[in-house]
Structure 1
Amino acid sequence: MIDIVNQINAVRREVANRPGAEGEVRALRLTRTYQAEVEDVWDALTNEERIPRWFLPITGELKAGGSFQLEGNAGGEIRRCEPPTLFEVTFGDENSIVTVELSSGGQDTTVLVLEHTVPAGLFPDSGTLSVGPGWDQAVLGLGRHLAGEDFADSAAEHDTPESREYAGAAVYAWVAVLEAEGRVEAAELKTAAEAAHEHYNPSS
């Protein structure tokens, strides 16, 4: 069973526009603490035998300079890999960058920070709602795996009613972040939220 309220509250969500290497970027960030040591979290994130047990089947050369392809999802290039604390990849497009950083939270815990950036203006600011809940499902799956759960079919697990309900709740957690930011008009935000909720938790 997924404790949806506690799992939603376990994630800190942020959005911001900030300078990038080649101009302003739009960034969304998730931060979550896991009851596991950094080396174990790193292994779960980068070991091709463990990734399918909580996320999706993956192929490729999983090292700096290599590439990867997630089954039924995005692929990309591995731009940086600094075990056991940081990796950076392109995700679906060379301008779409995902960075994951790990640090010790003390008492055998690990703080994970996942940031996904795209060039500002490439998508509307409300586009956060089409991406953020998907990353929520990923960090949830990782947490369940680290707590001892493994999925015979991770893609099917992400499509169960309770996983969809969690993703639907994550949509509105991201809505609250966008409301606080104040960049998206209320009508646009409402329309985007409805579309995202129908995508992640259809007909609920």
Structure 2
Amino acid sequence: MIDIGAQIGATGRAVTEVEGHIRVLLTRDYAATPDDVWDALTDPARLRRWFLPISGDLRAGGQFQLEGNAGGEILHCEPPSRLRVTFGGPSSLVEVRLSGDDTHTRLELEHTVPVEFAGSAAGSLFVGPGWDGAALGLALHLVGAVADDPNSIETQRFNLASIAAWVRATTGVATDAEVEAGRAAALAQYCPDVKD
């Protein structure tokens, strides 16, 4: 069992709309070196243990495919500090930045899409909880633990708390109606068996 409140509190979330783009920013600190976190993010054998199996030409300019999820192009790869990829389409960009020292790493994950792709800033509710789950999976992996089944009730309770956190991050950036519609869609997607 995980401490859901502590795990939700360990992650920072921000949503902005600038120049026709929605930006979702997730930040989290890990008690591991940047080299170790980078390796967990980019080594296919490790990535499959905490996120998803990956295939493709895993280098700058290459293509990747996550099993049962998005694929894209690797636009920039600067070990151990910066990875930028398209994610599910050419206008959906994910950038991971790592900084730290020999005792900790700060991860910043930024997912940017055009407003017309997301519909509004409430589009953060479609991707934010998924990135929260990835941040949790990475945290558990780095301490030698394994994430629960993605369909378990505990995972769905975590997702429920994540959705509430993303609602708070999105409030004021999207209209109340857009936030509520995004929240309802996220609840159906991420925690269908748990009532809030």
2:160 match: 168
Alignment partner of 1:66 is 2:62 = yes
1:64-143 → structure 2 map (5 Å cutoff): 64-104=60-100, 106=101, 108-123=103-118, 124-143=120-139
**Aligned-partner SS, 1:73:** coil
Alignment partner of 1:188 is 2:178 = yes
Aligned-residue offset at 1:17: 1.8
2:191 match: 201
Structure 1's consecutive aligned runs of 4 or more residues displaced over 6 angstroms after TM superposition are none
**Aligned-partner SS, 1:122:** helix
Cα separation, 2, equivalents of 1:157 and 1:56: 13
In 1, are the aligned partners of 2:125 and 2:167 still within 8 Å (CA)?
A: yes
Give the number of aligned pairs.
193
AA partner of residue 25 (structure 1): H
Name stretches of at least 5 consecutive residues in structure 2 with no aligned partner: none
AA partner of residue 170 (structure 2): L
Under a length normalisation based on structure 1, what TM-score does the superposition of the two structures give?
0.90
AA partner of residue 116 (structure 1): H
**Aligned-partner SS, 2:182:** helix
Name stretches of at least 5 consecutive residues in structure 1 with no aligned partner: none
Aligned-residue offset at 1:119: 1.2
2:32 match: 36
Under a length normalisation based on structure 2, what TM-score does the superposition of the two structures give?
0.93
In 1, are the aligned partners of 2:54 and 2:64 still within 8 Å (CA)?
A: yes
Aligned-residue offset at 1:107: 6.0
In 2, are the aligned partners of 1:2 and 1:163 still within 8 Å (CA)?
A: no
1:39-50 → structure 2 map (5 Å cutoff): 39-50=35-46
**RMSD over aligned Cα, in angstroms?**
1.4
* Bigger mean CA deviation after superposition, 112-121 or 30-39: 112-121
AA partner of residue 155 (structure 2): S
Cα separation, 2, equivalents of 1:26 and 1:114: 14
In 1, are the aligned partners of 2:30 and 2:106 still within 8 Å (CA)?
A: yes
In 2, are the aligned partners of 1:55 and 1:138 still within 8 Å (CA)?
A: yes
Aligned-residue offset at 1:97: 0.4
* Bigger mean CA deviation after superposition, 192-201 or 112-121: 192-201
Cα-to-partner distance string for 1:29-56 (whole Å, 9 max, x where unaligned):
0000000011000000000110000001
AA partner of residue 82 (structure 2): L
**Aligned-partner SS, 1:121:** helix
Alignment partner of 1:51 is 2:43 = no
Aligned-residue offset at 1:184: 2.2
